Amino acid sequence: MVFKRMPLEDWFDKYQYEVDYDIGESGMKFFRVKDLGIDLDEVELRYGYHLGRPELRKKIAEMYDGCSMENVAVTTGASEANFAIIAHLVNRSDHMIVEHPTYPSLYEVPRSLEISLSLLRLKWVDRFKPNLDELRGIIKPNTKLITLTHPNNPTGSQITEKTLREAIGIAEEHDIHLMVDETYRDLTFDEPPPLAATLSKNAISLTSMSKVYGLPGIRIGWAVADKSVIEGIRAVREQMTICNSAFGEVIALEILKRRKQVLNDMRSKMMSNYEIVKEWMDQQSWLEWIEPEGGVVCAPRLRNGGSTRELCELLVRKYRTFVVPGYGLEMDEYFRLGYGGDREELVVGLEMLKKALEELSSSS
């Protein structure tokens, strides 16, 4: 079993702290502790409940119709929940299907665990929506888990309720689990489909405080699922992290109590940033895209084709601007642009992007 570095995370680790303009991040601008107005003085720095603080689990369960805290596992980000769910549900002799592109750990974990894997590729011609006939065709007798991510990272595509229900129907028919990464669901431009875990015992909802809530540093995410899956997550994580950060849980609970207000603020920032990106895209001639339908990321590509690596390296080194090259997401002809950050940073970052594109086209 070999755990290789993920090219996406390598790029982040190398450059994200070195730049002046970050227009590649995949979440809303992060908060500072002092912005939150949360008193952390009385936080007890002891081990926590292995599935998360009961008050936090209850608060989360309130968002999922028909679910109780027994259906909730709070984890060290969605990343840990993803790892634990795969490790619990899928053995080495089993098979799983991962929609691609997505956040790479969704497919890198099964690769590392030497689980047989098929990718359900999202295509430009389908506006990056999954083709469920193709999904039916790649299910094997030993398939145990299918994962979808919508709004999708990095394309920003969204599925309809009809597609979600159809995908769940396929999972039920084959008696397998469908995990939906709903990390960006609260930032869908239109009404999002229902939360997957509210629709079927075979469905698992996965999400995080990292993106929509601007709190990646607290490392809190969760899964909502049937109790047997929640117990499986507990068993896996007891061998990894045991419990969550005490500070992270307190902050997550306080923010979820103000959820409506926080989400309203985030949505209005995201929408006004999105208008800036859209106007910028409409006025330039080097790039093309499928417009996103939610989340805070999109994946443009070069009209002339080819890798975006040179562009991203030029941007980071000369223009001190951070975007994510497509090779880190196994889609070399694209790059990821994020619009969840500060408005001013986005505006200057896009100016830098324009300069880099001009420079490359004049030298080619």
Shortest distance in whole angstroms from residue 206 CB to ligand PLP: 7
Rounded CA separation 197/290 (Å): 28
Rounded CA separation 34/23 (Å): 24
Rounded CA separation 195/35 (Å): 30
Q: Does 222 bind ligand PLP (CB under 6 A)?
A: no
Tokens of 315: 């941007």
Closest by CA to 163, choosing from 154, 152, 155, is: 152
Rounded CA separation 8/10 (Å): 5
Residue 306 — left, alpha, or beta (φ > 0 → left; ψ -120 to 50 → alpha)? Answer: left
Which of 22, 108, 181, 226 touches ligand PLP (CB under 6 A)?
181
Q: Which amino acid is at 38?
A: I
Q: Does 99 bind ligand PLP (CB under 6 A)?
A: no
Q: Does 208 bind ligand PLP (CB under 6 A)?
A: yes
Kindly tell me which of 59 and 357 has the beta carbon lying closer to ligand PLP: 59
Q: Does 210 bind ligand PLP (CB under 6 A)?
A: yes
Give the x/- contact pattern for ligand PLP in 55-84, rule: CB under 6 A: ----------------------xxx-----
Q: Does 26 bind ligand PLP (CB under 6 A)?
A: yes
Cα separations (Å) of 110 from 23, 87, 274?
30, 8, 34
Judged by CB under 6 A, the stretch of 44-52, 208-216, 261-269, 318-326 that binds ligand PLP is 208-216
Kindly tell me which of 187 and 316 has the beta carbon lying closer to ligand PLP: 187
Count, residues near ligand PLP per rule CB under 6 A: 13
Task: Find the residue with minimal CB distance to ligand PLP.
Answer: 77
Q: Does 340 bind ligand PLP (CB under 6 A)?
A: no
Residue 73 — left, alpha, or beta (φ > 0 → left; ψ -120 to 50 → alpha)? Answer: beta
Kindly tell me which of 149 and 308 has the beta carbon lying closer to ligand PLP: 149
Return residues touching ligand PLP (CB under 6 A).
26, 77-79, 103, 149, 153, 181, 183, 208, 210, 216, 221
